[in-house]
Amino acid sequence: MSVATRTKTDLGEMSAAELSELFASGEASPVEATRTALDRIERFNPSVNAFAYVVADAALAEAKASEERWRKGEPLSPIDGAPTTIKELTAVKGIPWRRGSILGGTEPSTREIEIVERLRAAGATILGTTTSPEFGWKGLTHGPATGNTLNPWHTGRASGGSSGGAAVAAALNMGVLHEGSDGAGSIRIPAAFCGVFGIKPTFGWIPADAPSALFELAHRGPLTRTVEDAALFLNATTGWSPRALYGHCPSPVPDWRKVVREGAGVKGMKLAYSRTLGYAEVDAEVARAVDRAVKRLADMGATIEEVDPGFACPQETLLTLWYAAQAKALAAFNPSDEQKAKMDPGLLKICAEGASYSALDYLAARQARAELTVHMELFFQRYDALVLPTMPLTAFEAGVDFPGGGEGRDWSDWSPFTYPFNLTGQPATTVPCGFDADGLPIGLQFVGPSFHDARLLSMAAAYQATHPEPRIGEPREM
């Protein structure tokens, strides 16, 4: 079944951009918006399990402060008072830092990282934290500590992950801005499965001030209903920081909202279209939807060339870096046998493998990653962007790691189109482009050269404006 929602007439169906206009005119207040978001959480979350923690009292207190700033004509930013969520892998003051695991914190955190500080400085109202699998280790959101986060289009299907809670919250507008992280597809996978927009920005735009054994693989970014809302999130969070541990932000930083509102879109763009990257299999319904989307892009003025980027499947490179990083993260907790019995067996398995790698194995993977990055940067000397499916399939049954309950090397077996661009650090977005016969969303992915995120946002905004897909509860063409 799907989760029934109201029609788009109430405050809870507004975007961050629309709420900002209502706050400025005095037609609505941040307190009203926050109460509405909390009401939606109360109504919808029991059916989908998208939240790890909800901090209603703290959120209302922040909303009241925002209301006063808008009353005085002194908002901190356009997202002052915007109901916002943070993925539970991200530390937030006042909320236990669970990290999807029984090993996580149970007491309110006393620390938070710069992306949260920047959202607070922009006046965002934090509603709580959204669910993730244990330590974000897979592209799904279920596990012993978190339970199962379900797809709002069909609650028998998976939400994707590891930012599954954020994607579900975005789809149901339980808040308007949703922070996620993406180490191998963890923003784009759930965004595609749940029919929302997501962007993994070029590594460096958002400061990486939290220690991570994933290093440059671990991007942070927004999941939202609209491209413009994602731009508002990026305006608040991008920019140079002396605290960045890995990678650095160039200067100047674009006005992302201006890019979305005034950008050229796709007209005149030379786009490469790859159906399979040369090595993946794609479901026929997904292929048809993406082919249709590419034809739409051509009709909108883009020049399309069907071409694969010309690299071999980099899964082994990804898994060496991924497994080693997860082994390092787990070692810091030194879990007991009793604790391990309450953890995700898949996580323990990959950590054991990651711990067996040699320094030479790891360095070889780092070298392969660097070579892939150069290969793709050279590819983008010939094309403005690469267009491809976000996922080769739509959301499969909830609660399993592989479609049909089968087995494989790793969850990345069924997500071949996301992790290559974590390895390169390049920007990648996903925008809804249709549905399968079961009414499950399909995502279209744009990838571009490093620090050309503005190009992708402009393209995605133009596509979304020209070919908007219905939201949950709205009729759609069959």
Query: Tens digits of per-residue pLDDT, 17-42?
Result: 999 999 999 999 999 999 999 999 99
What is the pLDDT, as a whole number, of residue 3? 58
> What is the identity of the amino acid at 273?
Y
Q: Which of 29, 101, 162, 412 is flagged as catalytic?
A: 162
Q: Using CA atoms, how far apart are residues 260 and 266, in angstroms rounded to an integer?
A: 12
Handedness of CA 136, 141, 143, 147 (dihedral sign): positive
* Alpha helix segments (H runs only) across 148-265: 164-171, 188-194, 227-237, 256-262
Do 57 and 236 meet the contact criterion of CB atoms below 8 Å apart? no
Residue 206's pLDDT is: 98
Identify the residue whose tokens are 């788009």: 8
Over the stretch 168-205, which tens digit does the pLDDT of each residue have?
A: 999 999 999 999 999 999 999 999 999 999 999 999 99
pTM: 0.97
Beta bridge partners of 148: 142
Q: What is the pLDDT of residue 85?
A: 99
Q: CA–CA separation, 205 vs 246, rounded Å?
A: 11
Catalytic site residue 162?
A: yes
Q: How does the average pLDDT of the chain come out, rounded?
A: 96
Q: Determine whether 87 is an active site residue.
A: yes
CA dihedral 53, 56, 57, 61 (to 10 degrees): 120
Bridge partners (DSSP) of residue 129 are 53, 86
- Give the pLDDT confidence score for residue 258 in this predicted structure: 98
Residues 6+ apart with CB under 8 A from 433: 289, 290, 292, 293, 442, 443, 444, 463, 467, 469
pLDDT above 60 for 1: no
Choose the catalytic residue: 29, 66, 87, 412: 87
Q: How confident is the model at residue 248 (pLDDT cuts 50, 70, 90)?
A: confident
Reported confidence tier of residue 7, pLDDT bands at 50, 70, 90 = very low
Given 159, 186, 415, 458, which residue is catalytic? 186
Residue 407 structure tokens = 């087995």
Distance, CA of 445 to CA of 450 (rounded, Å): 16
356 is catalytic: no
Q: Cβ contacts of residue 236 below 8 Å, gap of 6+?
A: 77, 79, 118, 119, 121, 122, 124
Looking at the DSSP bridge assignments, the partners of residue 51 are 130
What digits encode the pLDDT tens for the residues 64-85?
Answer: 999 999 999 999 999 999 999 9
Residues linked to residue 271 through DSSP beta bridges, in sequence order? 304, 385
pLDDT in tens, 99-120: 999 999 999 999 999 999 999 9
Residue 6 — very low, low, confident or very high, per pLDDT cuts 50/70/90? very low
pLDDT the model gives residue 474: 82
pLDDT of residue 5: 45
Tokens of 251: 């200067």
Residues β-bridged to residue 221: 180
Instruction: Write 70-75 long-range contacts (CB < 8 A, 24+).
Output: 70/23, 70/24, 70/26, 70/29, 70/30, 71/26, 75/23, 75/24, 75/123
Span of 30-44, 398-412, 440-454 with lowest mean pLDDT: 398-412
Residues facing 441 on adjacent strands: 435
